[in-house]
Structure 1
Amino acid sequence: MTTETAQFTVIRADATPAPSLPAFGQFIGGKFVPSSSSETVDVVNPATEEVLTQVPAGTAEDVDAAVAAAVAAKDAWAATTPRDRAAVLLKIADIIEANRELFETLEAANTGKPPAVAEDDISSAIDTFRFSAGAARAYSTLGADDYAENHTSVIHREPVGVVGVITPWNYPLLMAAWKIAPVLGAGNTLVLKPSEQTPLTTLKLAELIAGEVPAGVINIVTGPGRVVGNRLSEHPHVDLVAITGSVGSGQKVAAAAAGSVKRVHLELGGKAPVVIFADADLEAAAKGVRSAGFWNGGQECGAACRVLVHESVADKFTELLVKEISEITVGTPGADDAEIGSMISKAHYERVLEALEDIRKDGHTIAVGGRAIEGPGYFIEPTVVTNVPAQAPITSNEIFGPVVSVETFSTDDEAVTRANETIYGLAASVWTKDSARSLTVPRKLDFGTVWVNSHLVIATEMPWGGFKGSGYGRDLSSYALDDFSRTKHVMYNRG
């Protein structure tokens, strides 16, 4: 059964501030320089379908120049003290804070985010830099001591060298911050490739901090992944590659990196199960899914997109969830009441609509939403799909849009088994009032983050990363600085 009448309209802001566009060029060696190619990529506002600007379609030669700049800068940057590096990270945070409105406006224009999401992105980016500044000064490691007779051992934490970074389109500045802050805090230099669809806030950051970071420490090359990303991944002078992206993109990066036996740091996709037991607070769970399933339009790898609810309360929960989702407001950047905005691009908009058509063909019930919203921009209605059987394609395919599915289970063991039946292992949540269950079930779930009675609550001090197909490596927390460091053991013979 499908919904045949439009249930949602787009709240369109009367006027929004014009975004402050960054300088044109590749950011290499502390300044913007021309690309080696004259080709460009259009950067589009997905809420209006208007072209905002163009950025260079970078080449392998651009990557080589950026890596050379990072190599030239790495020894001097690695020799700085944690205190000195922390001071730079704090200054970056202050610059973002001082230009908060500029970044929020630019991010919203490039991604279609509503004000609340854009504001949260910028606030979280600021917090990431400030946390990493402190973490850079507080490494903990095995104490120096004699672990063999007459030999004293010392552990050194060293930077890995030059880090290649590939960031996604769903949180452009925030994902750049998640990588830049710990990479620099650990003493590395970097070359970053933002998504060619959403490079503007990353380039603007480079423009504003150029005078505060030594030349060559941060370099940014725009362009397609098949060219820029691949060259970064295979480059012999890049010591580690870190990517936030799809499973397919992560596989390509790892394969290209294998040739030079470099380390990789993969934060990939997700299909987060929300396991709701019979004793759960159903109203709280429904509100939680409304927030965590549709935040950023569901374009979120940890989104609460797959509900497993106990069969005895499934009807009641579904009723509550449909009511919640029916009340979601959709709007353009600058529309203060909007909860969700547009899809990121025409291509992604069409992918989500194709997934919805497949859901119809599979015979599932679309209880609310399920359609494109008429008018300019790539808007799709918030959607709830019900009566989903076990192992249906929607339970395992990452749609990455405003779509949540609901399926049922009968026993605790079945809930755990079904939740784990996915290639992904990024995030999950458990909803229950039973204290014993709240302790035992999370330990059985094969996911890097498990929330109990909440979902998608992120703390900068805590690690973020997955298992299985969701990759390996950890963002946020002091574990991120560990990931961008290497361990050296020096042993002194005192005999």
Structure 2
Amino acid sequence: MTLTDIARFSVRRASGHTPELELPPAGHFIGGSFVPGSSGAQTEIVDPTTGQSFASVAEGTADDVDAAVAAAVRAQPGWGATTPKERSEALSKIADIIEASHAVLEALESANTGKPQSVSEDDVSSAVDTFRFMAGAGRALSSLAAGDYVAGHTSVILREPIGVVGVITPWNYPLLMAAWKLAPILAAGNSVVLKPSEQTPLTTLKLMELIAGVLPDGVLNVVTGLGPVVGARLADHPDINLVAVTGSVGSGKAVASLAGSTVKRVHLELGGKAPVLIYADADLAAAATALRTAGFWNSGQECGSACRVLVHESVAEEFTELLVREVSTLVVGDPAAGADVEIGPMVSEAHFARVAGFLQRALDAGITAAIGGRPLEGPGYFIAPTVLVNVPAGAEAAREEIFGPVITVETFSDEQEVIRRANDTPYGLAASVWTSDARLSMSVPRKLDFGTVWVNSHLVLANEVPWGGFKGSGYGRDLSLYALEDFSRTKHVMINHSA
């Protein structure tokens, strides 16, 4: 296969006047209102389509975290004493507010992250559904039935709030990952101090502005700032009972290490490098069409992205041609350039350089870009959608999380080989299997060491089912009733009634 001219892709730019954004207040949200940061320092927010700053937020300090935690500690007993019905009503109200404000939130999300409109729209609608699901799920938790498991003693299992939860959310899904954490944490009766990514805090702050007054003051707090300062203080603060992170493996390791000093619980949803196993009997056209979305959603800045294809050698050429044809139709551009834009920029200059570095090293090592393979010209942080072929087993591009619009293609010859190679990764978040063989569809997922395994689909999520990984991808589960269990604690009460 020959290198496709990357001139196929160009960046569509917005033309004409773009509507003015409804920016949130720039301070921290502590104790029910926005307050200035204690240091007065600001973090500039950059538009990744241009590289230009367009807003700023407070750069938090350990003192700001301490103030937020103190507010959460004061508020938690009262919130934890509310009934599931009362908490459900609050979460339902938050869902209604997000839905009513969807246009404002979508515009902010796209401006801050560079996301295409379709991705921001999906994020906001998914956030609404997350709060609505947890509003109901929080009223339906069950435990071991009360009973006399020892003669003369009745055992009752109580489910209680953990207390104060620290949350650290990532830059790729700032609003949605906040919803994934906040909804079950609040439904379980906890109070929260949340640190959004310093790169993409705007929709989180806007959400605080929109829902101020729905929850008692201090139940939900947000401190903006840098990971080594704000994140580190959340991780080692003695009054925080659990810290939950969605982010990189490095961030998760750092938080877990700091959390160990106070023996607090840790909930980690970290990176991924999802293998896509395509057997010879798979519907190759359907797989290629699915990977057009699953491999490039959110410009590949997605921890469950279908980014590492392992295709049987007998159909590798046919599948790769189908995949490249699908990828060649992707529309790259500024999210303000039209609703049909599918690929936006990388979130920051640093991440752009990181992805570009992966591509250059792959090309230097003799790997072929069947399409794409380079940054795109002009302002902003755009990378051409890329399919790397002739990728040898163990290559950096096939093992490390590139986190950009890049799919690698490797070949395999037999079932044992592909399972071994699929599992030969430090990550364990997600994978998919493509086959028309009923035996393979049942047996292969059991052998794959990943928290989610799709069969003949990829990157399909629902609030009713859990999301989370194994190995370097962390532990703990988001979504579903399992998240509610993770963010609560069980207490056994045994009553002696034999006397």
Q: TM-score range by the shorter chain?
A: over 0.9
Q: In the alignment, what sits opposite 1:93? A: 95
Q: Does 1:366 pair with 2:366?
A: no
Aligned to 1:385: 388
The answer for the alignment partner of 1:149 in structure 2 is 151
Q: Percent identity?
A: 66
Tell me how far apart the structure 1 counterparts of residues 496 and 14 of structure 2 sit (CA, whole Å): 71
Distance 1:106 1:413 in 2: 47
Matched ranges for 1:184-333 at <5 A: 184-333=186-335
Distance 2:12 2:128 in 1: 29
Report the AA paired with residue 475 of structure 1. D
Query: Unaligned regions of 5+ residues in structure 2, if any?
Result: none
Rounded to whole Å, the distance in 1 between the matches of 2:44 and 2:26 is 12
Deviates more, 1:334-343 or 1:84-93: 334-343
Paired residues of 2:169 and 2:247 also in contact (CA < 8 A): yes
1:409 aligned to which of 398, 407, 412: 412
1:418 to 401, 409, 421: 421
Post-superposition offset of 1:5: 4.6
Secondary structure in 2 matching 1:331: coil
- The CA deviation at 1:373 is 1.1
Aligned length: 495
Q: What letter is aligned with 1:450?
A: V
2:482 counterpart of 1:473 = no
Q: Following superposition, which runs of at least 4 residues in structure 1 exceed 3 angstroms of deviation?
A: 1-5
Give the match for residue 432 of structure 1. 435
1:12 aligns with 2:13: yes
1:110 is aligned to 112
Structure 1 residues 2 and 461: CA distance shift in structure 2, 3 A = same
Q: Aligned residue for 2:136?
A: 134
| Aligned equivalent of 1:123 | 125
Separation in 1 of the partners of 2:412 and 2:36? 58
Deviations 1:26-62 (A, max 9, x none): 1000000111111110011111222121101100000
Q: Do the aligned residues in 1 keep the contact of 2:168 with 2:195 (CA within 8 Å)?
A: yes
Shift of 1:394: 1.4
Secondary structure of residue in 1 paired with 2:245: strand
Q: What displacement does 1:493 show?
A: 0.5
Whole-Å Cα distance in 1 between the matches of residues 401 and 477 of structure 2?
21
1:304 is displaced (CA, Å) by 0.2
Deviation digits for residues 356-395 of structure 1 (CA, Å, limit 9, x no counterpart): 1110111101110011111121111000000011111111
> Among residues 41, 44, 48, which one is paired with 1:42 in the alignment?
44
- Give the Å deviation of 1:288: 1.1
1:391 and 1:148 map into 2 onto residues whose CA distance is 55
Question: Matches of 2:93 and 2:300 in 1, distance apart?
Answer: 33
Cα distance, 1:434 vs. partner?
A: 0.5
- Report what 1:341 is aligned to: 344
Contact kept? 1:161, 1:239, Cα under 8 Å: yes
Aligned to 2:177: 175
SS at match of 2:322: helix
**Structure 1 gap segments, 5+ residues each:** none
> Could you say if the C-alpha distance between residues 281 and 4 of structure 1 is closer, same or farther in structure 2, counting changes exceeding 3 Å?
closer
> Is the CA contact (8 Å cut-off) linking 1:18 and 1:105 kept in structure 2?
no
Report the residue type matching 1:354 in the other structure: G
1:123-155 superposed Cα distances (whole Å, 9 cap, x missing partner): 000000000000100001101011111110000
Contact map agreement 1:35 1:56 (CA 8 A) in 2: yes
Which letter maps to 2:304? G
Q: How does 1:435-446 map to 2 (within 5 A)?
A: 435-446=438-449
**Number of the residue aligned with 1:28:** 30
Cα distance in 2, alignment partners of residues 18 and 289 from structure 1 = 35
Is the aligned partner of 1:400 residue 2:391? no
Q: Deviations over 1:187-224 (max 9, x none)?
A: 00000000000000000000111111110000000000
What is the letter of the counterpart of residue 412 of structure 1? E
Residue deviations 1:40-87 (CA, integer Å, cap 9, x gap): 100111112221211011000000000000000000000000000000
The CA distance in 2 between the partners of 1:50 and 1:182, in whole Å, is 36
Write the distance in 2 (CA, Å) between the matches of 1:444 and 1:5: 38
Matched residue, 1:376: 379
Contact 1:2–1:370 (CA<8 Å) still a contact in 2? no
**1:237 alignment partner, SS class:** coil
Contact 1:17 1:105 in 2 (8 A): no
Conserved in 1, the CA contact under 8 Å of 2:310 and 2:409?
Answer: yes
**Rounded Cα–Cα distance in structure 2 between residues aligned with 1:430 and 1:24:** 45
Q: Work out the CA distance in 2 between the residues paired with 1:127 and 1:12.
A: 32
- Residue in structure 2 matched with residue 484 of structure 1 by the alignment: 487
TM-score (norm 1): 0.99
Looking at structure 1, the residues matched to 419 and 335 of structure 2 have their Cα atoms a distance apart, in angstroms, of: 39
Deviations 1:223-250 (A, max 9, x none): 0000000000000000000000000000
CA RMSD of aligned residues (A): 0.9
Indicate the SS of the match to 2:8: coil
